[in-house]
Amino acid sequence: MAKNAAISKDNISAPRIKRSGDLLRMDTNPTVPKALGMIQVKELKGELTAQDKKAFNWLLHNAFDEISEDKVHTAKASELRSYLSKHESNDRLIETTMRLGTVPLAYNYLDEDGVPDWGSGSMISISGSIKNDTIKYSFPHWLRPMLAEPAKWARLSLSVMQKFNSKYSVALYENLELYTNRRTPKMDVSIEDLRVIIGVPDDKLQRFNDLKKRAIDPALAEINQFADFTATYEVSEKIGRKVSKICFTITKKDKRQLVEALTQQNQGYVPPPPLNPETFTRARKHAAGGDIYEIEKEWRNWSNEQGKPIRNPDGAFINFVKRWTKNRQGKLLY
């Protein structure tokens, strides 16, 4: 698919999502879109460390422009090592690449009809040569279409994740970022699901108080310090005395709100008015499981590129969703 395909009234071609920033300069705040299916993947043994999760996202950014292709990607081992740690030893880098290539994962994601597919396997095939300062890696066939054209995704900051020490911080940050741009930025999640998505082993932190003390609270402390949003949580459901669900509330920091506003202003962006609530209900029927609020963001970016007011925003959005879904049919699966 062309990166900026022409968009006409009868043939809307939604542009492919892109990475941003310079991977070798954290001051440019490099970001990469990551599919919900990979953010909420289940580690079968809970073995991945914070370094492993950071490394995967770094490699994802490095390969993103060619992510859908069946090819071997390359990177410099020294550059990845520099991102992960100040240590010059290659031992940790080798351990990280070995785990990434061998840890089994369980996954599920939506096909073009919004029906979940599932399976398991390693997320990446990877090898390296310290002598040649080279890492070579490829993504499996089941993963490439999900990464290239995700129905639901979050834009992750590599500079933010670089500062995290806990693997729970990385995982929780990724999941909260999925909800940050929602109209109601809340993540209501069962304790059972939360354990899965942040990678808590089945035999660890089984009491909620232990989970709270060792995983949730330390992760939120790092997220609130380094991310461009903050999050709090409260118990939203109990079964007897046992906490069964908690709800996170996410608030963008002033700096993020200012950057988003200035970006729109500098681009001459005159947003369409808010859509009617029933429009989102109608749109979901055509979205095949896609994140309707992320699609709305794409539509608003498209409307800005047209350079003229939209007379019927609700109708235009419905048509955009239909074309968005049509253009992705057959691309979520092989």
Q: What is d(CA 62, CA 132) in angstroms, rounded to the nearest whole number?
A: 18
Q: What are 158's two structure tokens? A: 């590599």
For each successive 10 residues of the chain (334 residues), what is the average pLDDT?
Answer: 34 62 91 86 77 95 92 95 84 91 72 58 88 94 80 88 95 94 90 91 91 96 94 95 96 77 56 79 86 82 68 87 76 36
Q: What's the CA gap between 24 and 103, in Å, rounded?
A: 27
Distance CA 223, CA 229 (A): 8
The pTM score is 0.74
Give the separation between CA 110 and CA 50, rounded to whole angstroms: 27
Maximum distance among all Cα pairs of the chain, rounded to whole angstroms: 61
Name the CA radius of gyration of the chain, rounded.
Answer: 20
User: What pLDDT shows up at residue 74?
Assistant: 97
Determine contact, residues 84/135, Cβ cutoff 8 Å: no
Give the C-alpha separation, 120 to 124, whole Å: 12
